Chains A and B, each alone.
Chain A
Amino acid sequence: MRFQVFPDAASTTAVQVDWLLAFLSLVTLFFLGIIFVPMGVFLYRYRRGNPVDRTPLNISTWKIEVFWTTVPLVLTFVIFGWGAGLYVHMKTPPEDAQEIYVVGKQWMWRLQHPEGKREINALHVPVGRTVKLMITSEDVIHSFFIPVFRVKQDAVPGRYTMEWFKATKAGTYHLFCSEYCGTQHSGMIGWVTVMEPKDYQDWLNSGSPQETQIAAGERLFHQLGCSGCHAENSKVRAPSLVGLYGKPVPLEGGTIVTADERYLHDSIVMPAKQIVFGYENLMPSFEGQLNEEQLFQLVQYLKHLGREQPPEYRRQGEGAAQFIVPHEAP
């Protein structure tokens, strides 16, 4: 039997989380010490029958109470601040992150790299590159957990969630579903393979060439007839989608939303949910015609539309995937 107390740490975040955990362990030991050492002494010294002085102390106890209320309070603020700071860092992916799409379904993980390469219950990533996972679910809630990276994110049906990491150590590591999802929950596991950039590039290029996510999205955009209404010169009045991603969108009723992935996704399957100000609700729902993977490809294409320059990750030097995207605005 293998005996291991400390898990491997294979990402930049993992090391930071471990420091935090080490600090928390010290705090725990500190409190255990200041509670149980005196308690042990009192229990021994003041056991019944032990002839020691028991005359009550005549002191004002409120000062003691204030003292031992304040000390933990201040200490918890420190822990809170540290934890929250790191959490914000974990929630804020660097700009140059490469997006990999993850969808959970009972009981497997399906992934697609931007270059089009697909994987099931496996994730290949290069050392030293920031990878951002865009996660969703086709059925119930799952959770994408990679212990050695100290990251975990629920996969929630109907929305995109995100986790990112930068792997630091090549190797093969566990990947778990950590949110209970039904009968085969404990079978929804797989492997994360962290590779040297060159090996990763070879892996990516192996097998038959695949359509990139953006190319697939564009194909769908035309096949489904989206371009018919959303093109600049269309007769039907529909909002333009060029450069829409990340922009504020005014809605009927006065609210303003940001055009994020979820907004784009929901506008395809539930167009009546959020009507853009000044437009009519003419668009049919595409619910049922597209699976989550195709929806994500469309979303990726829409995000790409109107970007002046190619996505950042393609300029990341070695290890960058070489792929060609047709990018004329429709």
Chain B
Amino acid sequence: MIDLRENYLSKHTIRSWLLTIDHKRIGLLYLFTILIFFLIAAVAAGLMRLELLTPQGDLLLPETYNKMFTIHGVLMVWFFLIPSIPTVLGNFVLPLVLGARDVAFPKLNLLSWYLFILGGSFALYGVFAGGVDTGWTFYTPLSTTYANGHVMTMAAGVFIAGFSSILTGLNFIVTTHKMRAPGLTWMRLPLFVWALYATSLIMVLATPVLAITLLLMTVERFWGVGIFNPALGGDPLLFQHLFWFYSHPAVYIMILPGMGVVSELITCFSRKKVFGYSFIAFSSMAIAVLGFVVWGHHMFSTGQSAYAGMVFSFLSFLVSVPSAIKVFNWTATLYKGEITFSTPMLYALGFIGLFTLGGLTGLFLATLAADIHLTDTYFVVAHFHYVMVGGMVLAFMGGLHYWWPKITGRLYPEKAGQLAAMITFVGFNLTFFPQFLLGYLGMPRRYHAYPEEFQIFNVLSTAGASILAVGYLLPVVYLLWSLKNGQRAGENPWAATGLEWTTPSPPPEHNFDQTPVVTRPPYDYAYQSTFHPREVEQTLENV
């Protein structure tokens, strides 16, 4: 009854994992690695939320609290969110959906992972050898002159991990250009590929700026060359310009792949051709391009000129439009669909809800006069968590559940999955919605102790965080359980379109026995017609 063919998981030696150049195995190496970072960063967040339960700074010392949010930020941004979907799901899925045997440069792909491990080791050393208390933004002159701890170790970690990003981006770009199956034209590409392509462009073009910035920081710190420190004739705001020139596009590295995943999920579970394919595809590219010219909206209150403020505000409004286009098109895709509420779909719907609110509150912050009051308060914290966690993490979870049968050959338990998705959604909102109100009330971010009148919302937020933790832990339990006990998935448990579903689960090491040929447009569910999700697994059981 079981497909006994060899697959990519057949070899079991440690050597076969550490020296693998199989994109699927590298994807799993990344999955395992980023989950460790996620865990550490989540524990840091948990400690912060516990500290904030009471107004007094009574649980952690101020230094410890500051180190916690720095660890949380650095690890979550560079060692979880940025690599999450591209390196795990992207690595696993991209060659499969292109009908390719592997990525264009398999060895380079493995090198990316080793660079990531090296960078991650530096960061972890920085965390455990004493910690860093600059915040993930490393603002000068605090980071170069005044901060204690292992700033340079942490920066070195981020610097090295950046090269991992660049190599992955490069690999994906070349793979998309050169490795597509016959007949798989650009306009037949799954939208996830478009999103990964746009993401890769940002990775390749923006990350070097971060590397340069960190290098300049090093030069100033070790050799006292005045670049950012005004006492040496430097300009502290120059650092912010350079930092956000990378870090704002990086926000799109963190959300575009999520949008790509959601496009796949919405179409699959409403069994409908996506509405406005080219608009969704090109809006990804528009976001990637416009994302490079909005960095100054992080600096409205720094004293940059009013004219600069106006230009950056205007461009920030422009970049909101392609995101809106995506949301409208996803909604329209549901129209006349045949909708099932499987776990991936619940995550996708959750994504749309939270990302939409995250995006709309972004309008508040792009509005110059409103930003002055809201910036550097909890409003900003809530806003970017709605986008980063509500968006990217939910999309990652949705994608992970969607491709889990392909990755492992097993189905996860559906009821448990749906329950976890709903717990996550509720817990998330309870954690972060009160923070919008806290921000409007004026509670600054990165505060270890705070005035009493802010307590009620902080209590709600901490309560929400504990629910959110359950929502995160539950999938770990049942996904691990499913590795041994889940039902066999078969080739295509969701009856989805896309080349990855035409090969066995788990796929053989070489992916396809014969190079597939594509003759239909993407998401042609009308053509595929009456092939329903869960019936496939039953067929398999009966074999």
Q: Which of A42, A47, A61, A158 contacts B230 (CB 8 A)?
A: A158
18 CB < 8 A contacts A-B: A2-B456, A3-B456, A16-B369, A17-B373, A28-B363, A43-B339, A46-B336, A48-B340, A76-B363, A79-B366, A83-B313, A87-B369, A152-B372, A154-B302, A161-B302, A183-B66, A186-B62, A186-B450
Q: Which of B142, B442, B446 contacts A140 (CB 8 A)?
A: B142
Interchain CA distance A163-B235 in the complex, whole Å: 21
B440 near A176: Cβ-Cβ < 8 Å: no
Chain A proximity of B466: nearest CB distance (Å)? 19
Q: Does A210 count as interface, using CB distance less than 8 angstroms?
A: no
Chain A proximity of B63: nearest CB distance (Å)? 5
Question: Which residues of the partner chain A approach B446 to less than 8 Å between Cβ atoms?
Answer: 180, 185-186
Chain A residue with Cβ nearest B269:
A48
Which 5 pairs show the lowest CB-CB distances between chains A and B? A147-B442, A158-B230, A83-B367, A87-B368, A86-B369
Selected interface stretch from B206-214, B217-225, B317-325, B479-487: B317-325
Q: Does A96 count as interface, using CB distance less than 8 angstroms?
A: no
Q: Does B353 count as interface, using CB distance less than 8 angstroms?
A: yes
Interchain CA distance A316-B191 in the complex, whole Å: 65
Selected interface stretch from B99-107, B181-189, B326-334, B415-423: B326-334
Q: Does A184 count as interface, using CB distance less than 8 angstroms?
A: yes
Chain A proximity of B341: nearest CB distance (Å)? 8
Question: Which residues of the partner chain B approach A28 to less than 8 Å between Cβ atoms?
Answer: 357, 360-361, 363
A158 near B337: Cβ-Cβ < 8 Å: no
Give the residue among A17, A139, A154, A156 with the most B Cβ atoms within 10 A. Answer: A154
Chain B residue with Cβ nearest A52:
B336
Report B's interface with A, CB cutoff 8 A: 57, 62-63, 66, 133, 135, 137, 139, 141-142, 145-147, 230-231, 233, 235-237, 270, 275-276, 279, 300-303, 306, 309-310, 313-314, 317-318, 320-321, 324-325, 327-329, 331-332, 334-341, 349, 352-353, 356-357, 360-361, 363-364, 366-373, 375-377, 437, 440-442, 444-453, 455-456, 526
Q: Which of A76, A154, A184 contacts B321 (CB 8 A)?
A: A76
Interchain CA distance A46-B332 in the complex, whole Å: 12
Question: Which residues of the partner chain A approach B445 to less than 8 Å between Cβ atoms?
Answer: 178, 180
Q: Which of A56, A88, A89, A91 contacts B526 (CB 8 A)?
A: A56
Q: Does A243 count as interface, using CB distance less than 8 angstroms?
A: no
B317 near A270: Cβ-Cβ < 8 Å: no
Chain B proximity of A168: nearest CB distance (Å)? 16
Question: Which residues of the partner chain A approach B335 to less than 8 Å between Cβ atoms?
Answer: 38, 42, 46
Question: Which residues of the partner chain A approach B449 to less than 8 Å between Cβ atoms?
Answer: 186-187
Question: Which residues of the partner chain A approach B328 to less than 8 Å between Cβ atoms?
Answer: 35, 68
Q: Which of B66, B309, B321, B337 contacts A46 (CB 8 A)?
A: B337
Q: Which of B141, B142, B321, B373 contacts A73 (CB 8 A)?
A: B321
Question: Which residues of the partner chain A approach B133 to less than 8 Å between Cβ atoms?
Answer: 182-183
Interface flags for A43-60 (1: CB within 8 Å of B; 0: not) read 100111000011111000
Question: Which residues of the partner chain B approach A31 to less than 8 Å between Cβ atoms?
Answer: 324, 356, 360
Interchain CA distance A17-B440 in the complex, whole Å: 11
B320 near A157: Cβ-Cβ < 8 Å: no
The verdict on A178 contacting B377 (CB below 8 Å), with A2-B453, A20-B370, A32-B357 known, is yes
Q: Does A82 count as interface, using CB distance less than 8 angstroms?
A: yes
Give the size category of A's interface with B: 35 or more
Identify which of residues 134-174 in chain A touch chain B, using a CB-to-CB cut-off of 8 Å.
139-141, 143, 145, 147-148, 150-154, 156-159, 161-162, 174
Interchain CA distance A20-B5 in the complex, whole Å: 64
Chain B residue with Cβ nearest A86:
B369
Interchain CA distance A181-B448 in the complex, whole Å: 12
Chain A residue with Cβ nearest B309:
A87
Q: Which of B142, B302, B356, B371 contacts A180 (CB 8 A)?
A: B142
Chain A residue with Cβ nearest B357:
A32
Question: Which residues of the partner chain B approach A153 to less than 8 Å between Cβ atoms?
Answer: 301, 303
Chain B proximity of A191: nearest CB distance (Å)? 11
Chain A proximity of B303: nearest CB distance (Å)? 4
A86 near B368: Cβ-Cβ < 8 Å: yes
Number of interchain pairs (Cβ within 8 Å): 256
Question: Which residues of the partner chain A approach B377 to less than 8 Å between Cβ atoms?
Answer: 178
B369 near A24: Cβ-Cβ < 8 Å: no
Chain B residue with Cβ nearest A270:
B233
B441 near A84: Cβ-Cβ < 8 Å: no
Q: Which of B331, B336, B349, B442 contacts A38 (CB 8 A)?
A: B331
A140-B146, A183-B62 known; 14 other A-B pairs, CB under 8 Å? A28-B360, A31-B360, A35-B328, A38-B335, A39-B352, A42-B339, A80-B314, A83-B370, A84-B368, A106-B146, A143-B376, A147-B441, A151-B372, A153-B301
B309 near A7: Cβ-Cβ < 8 Å: no
Q: Does A72 count as interface, using CB distance less than 8 angstroms?
A: yes
Interchain CA distance A181-B445 in the complex, whole Å: 12
Question: Which residues of the partner chain A approach B360 to less than 8 Å between Cβ atoms?
Answer: 27-28, 31-32
Q: Does A179 count as interface, using CB distance less than 8 angstroms?
A: yes
Question: Which residues of the partner chain A approach B275 to less than 8 Å between Cβ atoms?
Answer: 61
Q: Does A320 count as interface, using CB distance less than 8 angstroms?
A: no
The verdict on A39 contacting B331 (CB below 8 Å), with A151-B372, A186-B57 known, is yes
Question: Which residues of the partner chain A approach B456 to less than 8 Å between Cβ atoms?
Answer: 1-3
A69 near B451: Cβ-Cβ < 8 Å: no
The verdict on A5 contacting B437 (CB below 8 Å), with A42-B331, A186-B449 known, is yes
Interface flags for A86-130 (1: CB within 8 Å of B; 0: not) read 111111000000000000001000000000000000000000000
Question: Which residues of the partner chain A approach B357 to less than 8 Å between Cβ atoms?
Answer: 28, 32
Interchain CA distance A36-B356 in the complex, whole Å: 10
A27 near B363: Cβ-Cβ < 8 Å: yes
Chain A residue with Cβ nearest B444:
A178
Give the residue among A27, A83, A189 with the most B Cβ atoms within 10 A. Answer: A83
Interchain CA distance A89-B372 in the complex, whole Å: 12
Question: Which residues of the partner chain A approach B451 to less than 8 Å between Cβ atoms?
Answer: 174, 189
B444 near A145: Cβ-Cβ < 8 Å: yes
Q: Does A177 count as interface, using CB distance less than 8 angstroms?
A: yes
Q: Which of A17, A56, A80 contacts B317 (CB 8 A)?
A: A80
Chain A proximity of B499: nearest CB distance (Å)? 25
Chain B proximity of A65: nearest CB distance (Å)? 5
Question: Which residues of the partner chain A approach B306 to less than 8 Å between Cβ atoms?
Answer: 87-88, 91
Q: Does A291 count as interface, using CB distance less than 8 angstroms?
A: no
Q: Which of A17, A43, A84, A157 contacts B349 (CB 8 A)?
A: A43
Question: Which residues of the partner chain B approach A150 to less than 8 Å between Cβ atoms?
Answer: 372-373
Chain B proximity of A193: nearest CB distance (Å)? 16
Chain A residue with Cβ nearest B137:
A180
Chain A proximity of B77: nearest CB distance (Å)? 16
A84 near B313: Cβ-Cβ < 8 Å: yes
Q: Which of A24, A35, A56, A273 contacts B327 (CB 8 A)?
A: A35
Interchain CA distance A1-B455 in the complex, whole Å: 7
Chain B proximity of A175: nearest CB distance (Å)? 10
Interchain CA distance A6-B141 in the complex, whole Å: 35
Chain B proximity of A245: nearest CB distance (Å)? 19
B353 near A64: Cβ-Cβ < 8 Å: no
Question: Which residues of the partner chain B approach A208 to less than 8 Å between Cβ atoms?
Answer: none
Chain A proximity of B279: nearest CB distance (Å)? 5
Give the residue among B329, B370, B455 with the most A Cβ atoms within 10 A. Answer: B370
A46 near B334: Cβ-Cβ < 8 Å: yes
Interchain CA distance A151-B139 in the complex, whole Å: 22
Q: Which of B231, B325, B375, B450 contacts A152 (CB 8 A)?
A: B375
